[in-house]
Chains A and B, each alone.
Chain A
Amino acid sequence: MSDELYDKLQSMIGQVTGPYPANDEVNAPMIRHWCEAMQDGNPLYTDEEYAKNSKYGGIIAPPQMVQAYTVPCLWPADEDKVLNTLEILTELMDGSGFPYVVATTTSHEYFTPMLPGDKLSYTLEFASASPLKKTGLGQGYFLTVLYTYKNQNDEVVCKQPFTIFKFKLN
């Protein structure tokens, strides 16, 4: 049986939006707030004295924190906003009768550490789509997008595939 939606998804693979710049540089107060909430006492993030003598020469941000710098602002609203890859997919799936969503897997691969002062940005690529699948939740498609985070020197900081299941109830 042909599946027009699946064919449409396949034709969109490789689409990239961005780069989107981070709202803030990597900075010590945000690192401390993160560590306070997580209760993470890793001295590379929290102890300037220790970190100064490490190979980094000073504190670094927890690598898992990369996305926190690039979450869109609550305010002000971006008047010129263009849909990003994930929003384009969401709009297509919602309009095709698959309105529900659940995040299923994510992964971080780290390449370059984040130091205070670094200016991050990311791109968002549509990486893959599964054929129509039936699960306990309903039937739909597993869609994977790839976040690629870079610093101001164009070094890749982190690659993050993120998979959602867009579905309708059985």
Chain B
Amino acid sequence: MEYTSIKWGAVNEGDALPEKSREITRTTVVSTAIATRDFQDVHHDHEAAKKSGTKDIFLNILTTGGLIGKYLTDWSGPEGELKKVDIKLAMPCYPGDTLVGTGSVMKKYEENGQHLVEIGYQMATASGGPHAMGTAILALPE
């Protein structure tokens, strides 16, 4: 299979990343909790989650990070390297939500021989506003 990667030279500050949606089902919440080895009850046990004060089970933080990483490298292609990802956590993401990823290139620069871009991104739930947002730095092939 052929894979392509975005070249640093072809990226401009202000470029938008494509919007991507992911339906978050109960299976998503549970399967990602287990794949990230996070067995806290609020990520798989509805009754326990309600007792803790939330309306339902919700995505764990590792998964939020994993989905942000996927969003970024789906855009860059496999030669794009994640260097740093800052995450500000906002609203929880519940089964039934749709997570919508958006982003744009905020800065393009060279440092220590690397060709870098800084991306501002947001993962929003269609129903409840922002889930997570922040900036990320990727190294791209020249």
Most B C-beta atoms less than 10 A away, residue of A41, A42, A43: A42
Please state if B66 and A64 are interface contacts (CB–CB under 8 Å).
yes
- Bin chain A's interface residue count: 20 to 34
Q: Which of B81-89, B106-114, B122-130 contacts A (4 or more CB under 8 A)?
A: B81-89
Please state if B69 and A40 are interface contacts (CB–CB under 8 Å).
yes
Choose among B32, B86, B134 the residue that contacts A38 (Cβ–Cβ < 8 A): B32
Q: A34-B66, A106-B61 are in contact. Are A42 and B88 (CB under 8 A)?
A: no
B97 within 8 A of A: no
Per the CB 8 Å criterion, the residue count for chain B at the interface is 34
Q: Which of A65-73, A79-87, A144-152 contacts B (4 or more CB under 8 A)?
A: A65-73
Give CA–CA (A51, B3) in the complex, Å: 11
Most A C-beta atoms less than 10 A away, residue of B31, B70, B74, B82: B70
Residues on A with C-beta less than 8 A from B82 are: 63-64, 108, 110
Residues on A with C-beta less than 8 A from B102 are: none
Shortest distance from the beta carbon of A122 to any chain B beta carbon, whole Å:
14
Residues on B with C-beta less than 8 A from A50 are: 1, 3, 78
Shortest distance from the beta carbon of B63 to any chain A beta carbon, whole Å:
7
Residues on B with C-beta less than 8 A from A67 are: 36, 62
Find residues 34-67 in chain A having any chain B CB closer than 8 Å to their own CB. 34, 36-44, 47, 50, 54, 62-65, 67
Residues on A with C-beta less than 8 A from B62 are: 64, 67-68
Give CA–CA (A168, B86) in the complex, Å: 27
A109 within 8 A of B: yes
A170 within 8 A of B: no
- Count, A-B residue pairs, CB within 8 A: 98
Please state if A43 and B84 are interface contacts (CB–CB under 8 Å).
no
B37 within 8 A of A: yes
Q: A42-B78, A104-B89, A109-B84 are in contact. Are A71 and B3 (CB under 8 A)?
A: no
Choose among A47, A65, A74, A107 the residue that contacts B1 (Cβ–Cβ < 8 A): A47
Residues on A with C-beta less than 8 A from B86 are: 105, 107
Shortest distance from the beta carbon of A168 to any chain B beta carbon, whole Å:
15
Give per-residue flags for B1-17: 1 if the beta carbon is below 8 A from chain A beta carbons, else 0.
10100000000000000
Among residues of A, the one whose C-beta sits closest to the C-beta of B85 is A108
A5 within 8 A of B: no
Shortest distance from the beta carbon of A76 to any chain B beta carbon, whole Å:
14
Choose among B1, B37, B70 the residue that contacts A39 (Cβ–Cβ < 8 A): B70
A33 within 8 A of B: yes
**10 nearest CB pairs, A to B:** A37-B35, A40-B70, A64-B69, A71-B37, A37-B31, A37-B32, A107-B86, A64-B65, A109-B84, A38-B66
